[in-house]
Structure 1
Amino acid sequence: MGKPTRWVTETKPGHSQWYIDRFRRLAAEGADLAGEARLLDAMVPPGARILDAGCGTGRVAGALAARGHTVVGVDADPALIEAAGTDHPGPRWLVADLAELDLAAQGEPEPFDAAVVAGNVMAFVAPGTEGAVLSRIAAHVRPDGLVVVGFGTDRGYPLTDFDGDAVAAGLRLEHRFATWDLRPWRDDADFAVSVLRRPPNQEPTAPR
């Protein structure tokens, strides 16, 4: 693992268990936790191979697997990965630092049709690693594949910085929305869902 993430340095002890308990409670109450998965499902072909980068407790990856996709969920927090495996047995769950992501070394050499980065993941990675995170995710997506990223615009990672990091990672912005249910983007929106694509003529980058 590289530098400690903000998930570690900017939260209190016990935060991971609180987060696990929160989403288990929401699921038990019947809350709609599959909005991101519905959007991804509409963007990819049936039976797509999808990377859930920063998967947390697995709600998005689990919903995508239930829709027939092959999903690999990755998170730096072992407690969240353990909970994901318990609550959502369909996907494959791996502990990994997104800034150093090398899934071939963990038995997943095939590129993905799409990657989803939900739940403010980009606001919780280690400071200064945002560009590396996007580059490593992009390297695992096939040419013409999608990377769909959602995070709060007031969480310390300016959208202008994100756009620059996305370009440096070889990704092109195709669409931007204010919510996962596709409400129109406005410059004053406090959340952004960015649909990025690897150019179709771009060769896959070997993991470093």
Structure 2
Amino acid sequence: MNRWTELTGDTSGEDYAARFAALARSGKDMHGEARFCSALVPSAARVLDAGCGTGRVTIRLAELGYDCVGVDVDPSMLAVARKQAPHLPWFRADLAAFDPAALGIGTGFDLVVAAGNVFALLAPGTEATVVRRLSAALRPGGLLVAGFGLDEAHLPVEPALTLAEYDDCCSASGLAPVDRFATWDAAPYDGGGYAVSVHRRPETI
């Protein structure tokens, strides 16, 4: 069982959506992740939102003209996403067993994004498998973008994945590091407790 399911019981979709709706009403910028991704690939690019939750990032990217697919393990989160954007493709899948062909969505994505502490909330020991499966969904030259907390101040659970371990997972899947930031606003990474990492699949395998 992944750490998200242990934490929430896969029943927190409506509460999660309400919390972000309140933040949006307060004037907080809710689209940093989508803006970050849109600076990396051109409009109309194929984007996979891995661990899409209630669809906040997927929906915004679709509004900006991207060809988006959302995948999540939590049915309560996907229920909210489907209600908010029934025209977009949403799929339930555990990323450790993610198989694009079985879902009928194919591969060849220009960018895969894993926001919202997705990697920090996987079942410990599955991180390399998830990176391998997400990498396989990319086109040659495609990008994997992941943002997650590294300490207790940035996570709802005890930290279980370091940046060095994540980089090792990426390297084992043939992904090359491109850049790393401290926030989705692309602030330089200074060794703090949150990081946004960009890796690229080689143009040739």
Tell me the TM-score normalized by structure 1: 0.89
Give the CA deviation at 1:18: 2.3
Task: Report if the CA contact (8 A) 2:13-2:54 is conserved.
Answer: no
Answer yes or no: is 1:185 the counterpart of 2:189: yes
**Which has the higher mean CA deviation after the structures are superposed, 95-104 or 105-114?**
105-114
**Count of residue pairs brought into register by the alignment:** 198
Partners of 1:144 and 1:150 in 2: how far apart?
20
Answer yes or no: is 1:175 the counterpart of 2:179: yes
Over 3 Å counting, the alpha-carbon distance change for 1:90 and 1:60 in structure 2 is farther
* Residue identity matched to 1:176: R
Task: Report if the CA contact (8 A) 1:16-1:79 is conserved.
Answer: yes
Q: Which runs of 5+ in 1 are unaligned?
A: 203-208
Aligned to 2:67: 70
Find the residue that maps to 2:42 and give its secondary structure.
coil
Find the residue that maps to 2:184 and give its secondary structure.
coil
Answer yes or no: is 1:108 the counterpart of 2:102: no
Answer yes or no: is 1:130 the counterpart of 2:133: no
Partners of 1:13 and 1:48 in 2: how far apart?
30
Tell me the TM-score normalized by structure 2: 0.91
Over 3 Å counting, the alpha-carbon distance change for 1:98 and 1:192 in structure 2 is same
Partners of 2:177 and 2:119 in 1: how far apart?
16
Aligned to 2:155: none
Aligned to 2:36: 39
Give the CA deviation at 1:24: 3.1
**Which has the higher mean CA deviation after the structures are superposed, 192-201 or 28-37?**
28-37
* Residue identity matched to 2:52: C
User: 1:199 pairs with 191, 197, 202, which one?
Assistant: 202
Task: Report if the CA contact (8 A) 1:74-1:94 is conserved.
Answer: yes
* Residue identity matched to 1:67: L
Task: Report if the CA contact (8 A) 2:4-2:122 is conserved.
Answer: yes
Aligned to 1:205: none
Partners of 1:24 and 1:156 in 2: how far apart?
29
Partners of 2:81 and 2:8 in 1: how far apart?
20
Partners of 1:160 and 1:126 in 2: how far apart?
18
Partners of 1:95 and 1:52 in 2: how far apart?
12
Give the CA deviation at 1:30: 4.4
Identity over aligned residues, as a percent?
Answer: 47
Give the CA deviation at 1:37: 0.4
Partners of 1:93 and 1:47 in 2: how far apart?
18
What are the equivalent positions in structure 2 for 1:26-105 lying under 5 Å apart? 26-105=23-102
* Residue identity matched to 2:201: R
Give the CA deviation at 1:11: 3.7
Task: Report if the CA contact (8 A) 1:65-1:90 is conserved.
Answer: no
Task: Report if the CA contact (8 A) 1:178-1:191 is conserved.
Answer: yes
Alpha-carbon RMSD across the aligned residues, in angstroms, is 1.6
User: 1:160 pairs with 149, 164, 167, which one?
Assistant: 164
Answer yes or no: is 1:5 the counterpart of 2:2: yes
CA displacement, residues 20-54 of structure 1 (integer Å, 9 cap, x when unaligned):
32123334444321101011111102200000000
**Which has the higher mean CA deviation after the structures are superposed, 23-32 or 130-139?**
23-32
Give the CA deviation at 1:91: 2.7
